[in-house]
Amino acid sequence: MRKEASENLSGNTQFEGYSVDLIYEISRLLGFNYTFRLVPDGRYGGYNKQTKEWDGMIKELLDQKADLAIADLTITYDREQAVDFTTPFMPLGISILYRKPTKQPPNLFSFLSPLSLDVWIYMATAYLGVSVLLFILARQVKPL
């Protein structure tokens, strides 16, 4: 993550956070040097089906302008076909938030709540309609 006052800083000192600490430790253990730089287009990496080209960090890797990219990047099928990913080092669950339904106190008509009012009206209308129809048909049939 880029520091807030990063315009006064240069090179790797303008970045901070877990990813920066992680790459520092990996480079120290494996003995390699690195320089952070932002992607010119500021994108993570999307595939344009019309031009059949990648943008963002994926393009930088494919064009060999970067050796690795470290970011909060989701692993998609298309990205996985284009570049190799490590095992996620910080698994985060992407989810949808919703409001918990409030429990209503039971009352005399609670048994009606599973179906909407419209459904109950349609069922009552159908019941009455079929009853009237059967009554009319039964009166028209002569007993044997």
pLDDT at position 1 is 56
Percent of residues, the chain, with pLDDT higher than 70: 84
Answer yes or no: is pLDDT of 125 > 90.
Answer: yes
Answer yes or no: is pLDDT of 50 > 90.
Answer: yes
Residue spans of the domains in the chain: they are 11-81, 110-140
Residues pairing with 2 in the sheet: 15
Q: In the block, which residue shows the tokens 């790797």?
A: 12
Q: In whole angstroms, what is the distance from residue 23 CA to residue 34 CA?
A: 9
Choose among 116, 113, 115, 72: nearest CA to 94: 72
Q: What's the distance, CA 120 to chain centroid?
A: 37
Q: In whole angstroms, what is the distance from residue 94 CA to residue 44 CA?
A: 17
- CATH architecture of residue range(s) 11-81: 3-Layer(aba) Sandwich (3.40)
